[in-house]
Amino acid sequence: MKSKVFILYTGGTFGMKSNTNQELEPSSWEEIIDYLPAIKNQTFFHYFSEIDFTFETLEPVIDSSDITPEAWGRIALKVEQNYLDHDGFIIIHGTDTLAYSASALSFIFENLSKPIVLTGAQLPIFHPRTDGIVNLSNAIYIAGYQSFGIDRIPEVCICFNDDVLRGNRAVKTSTNDFEGFSSPNYENLANLEQHISINKHLIYQANNKALILKNKFSDRVVNVTIFPGYSPKPLIELVRTGKLEGIVLKTFGAGNLPNTPQWAELVNACERYNTIILATTQCPNGQIELGQYASSNVLNNRIVVDGKDITSEAALTKLMWVIGNFEVGLRCEMLSKNLRGEISSLK
Ligand code: ASP
């Protein structure tokens, strides 16, 4: 069955070349196509003859360290403008911030019924051992699912190496391995090995409602990882300016903080200035359980939201997005809800 796939190239190592200082910089989609005769002569994409491709570039192409919430909004608009005419979407993106962008896009779109697949590479497509070809090919299978008779994944996901991960569950775990991403608290949505296996029971069920796009993000947030001896004093001062709207607080273990009066002072200041604390764990696996230890008592306050097993990237983007799109009185409730499969229903 024919399918239509929209590919948006944003930059990243996938399309990078060395400049005169031997530093990697992104090149244009035209240069990529010129270099790869298989793409240029359509033989690479010809292999996917059942698919009609649309290619676009998000200008300017960037190292993904330069991604911004404004760029997330532009990516989302490109998807929205092409949504009805295409069956699936691929976003080629740098790996450094790919998990942030995947999380942000997952929140931007409500009622998604088509796959949005983010991918990239650890070695540029110009390198003989590039992983870019395999990653792009795998992404084409997921986005063009109908042509291959495989199940639809109507989610924002990351396709990297042979893994398909829920976008807002993924973290970049290696700067080096071809298996660059993992999903610590949620199983892979699919595995593309010799055979393709889709874990149907893990996939979000699409509904028939119209796609809704909300793409505002607050930039008045901070991400704070505590450590032994950390003093929250500068943070309290920041909250008291009244300009900070949210804090992702990466606590010890299951939500624990040192037993010092300054933490109560911080929570009181947050309550007064409506600065939400989204409490998460700094452990790569597992979830917080407020109340399990006396050391998490101080977080028992209306301004604190239990982040459960959310990743750091999803926590930050969810906080920015909720603050950007919802009025003060609704924010804590929105944050505690499982909006796009980013947290598990633990209790
Ligand atoms: N710095 C690059 C980027 O994120 C790294 C990569 O793509 O692997 O754009």
**275-317 tens-digit pLDDT:** 999 999 999 999 999 989 999 999 999 999 999 999 999 999 9
**84-95 tens-digit pLDDT:** 999 999 999 999
311 is written with which tokens?
A: 């990743």
Evaluate if residue 39 carries a pLDDT over 70: no
**50-65 tens-digit pLDDT:** 889 999 999 999 999 9
Strands 88-92 and 24-26: unpaired
d(CA 219, CA 28): 30
Nearest to 86 by CA among 250, 176, 236, 211: 211
Ligand 1: centre distance to CA 115 (Å): 23
Ligand 1: centre distance to CA 93 (Å): 8
Residue nearest to atom 7 of ligand 1 (CA): 94
3 lines ligand 1 (CB under 6 A): no
12 lines ligand 1 (CB under 6 A): yes
94 lines ligand 1 (CB under 6 A): yes
**91-119 tens-digit pLDDT:** 999 999 999 999 999 999 999 999 999 99
Which residue type, as a one-letter code, is found at position 111? N
What is the rounded radius of gyration, in angstroms, for the C-alpha atoms of the chain? Answer: 21
268 CB-near residues (< 8 Å, 6+ apart): none
pLDDT given for residue 213 in this prediction = 97
d(CA 71, CA 55): 18
**Which of 14, 62, 96 most suits a substitution to test ligand 1, by most atoms within 8 Å of the C-beta?**
96
Whether residue 277 contacts residue 247, with contact meaning beta carbons closer than 8 Å, is answered with: yes
d(CA 247, CA 267): 11
For the chain, which domains are there? Answer: 3-213 (3.40.50.1170), 221-336 (3.40.50.40)
Average pLDDT of every residue of the chain: 94
**Which of 9, 24, 63, 181 most suits a substitution to test ligand 1, by most atoms within 8 Å of the C-beta?**
63
Banded model confidence at residue 345, pLDDT cuts 50, 70, 90: confident
Using DSSP's 3-state secondary structure scheme, residue 45 falls into helix
The answer to which of 22-31, 71-80, 151-160 has the lowest mean pLDDT is 22-31
Beta bridge partners of 183: none
Banded model confidence at residue 35, pLDDT cuts 50, 70, 90: confident
- How many degrees, rounded to 5, is the angle at CA 227 between CA 223 and CA 266? 60
pLDDT given for residue 41 in this prediction = 56
pLDDT given for residue 324 in this prediction = 98
The catalytic site residues sit at 13
- How many degrees, rounded to 5, is the angle at CA 8 between CA 7 and CA 12? 120
Bond before 60 cis per omega within 30 degrees: yes
Ligand 1: centre distance to CA 61 (Å): 12
120 lines ligand 1 (CB under 6 A): yes
Q: Which ligand 1 atom is nearest residue 65's CA?
A: 4
**154-182 tens-digit pLDDT:** 999 999 999 999 999 999 999 999 999 99
Secondary structure of the chain: what % helix, strand, coil (to 5)? 35, 25, 45
Ligand 1: centre distance to CA 55 (Å): 20
287 is written with which tokens?
A: 């979830």
Ligand 1: centre distance to CA 25 (Å): 9
Q: Which ligand 1 atom is nearest residue 96's CA?
A: 4
Whether residue 132 contacts residue 172, with contact meaning beta carbons closer than 8 Å, is answered with: no
**197-206 tens-digit pLDDT:** 999 999 998 8
13 lines ligand 1 (CB under 6 A): yes
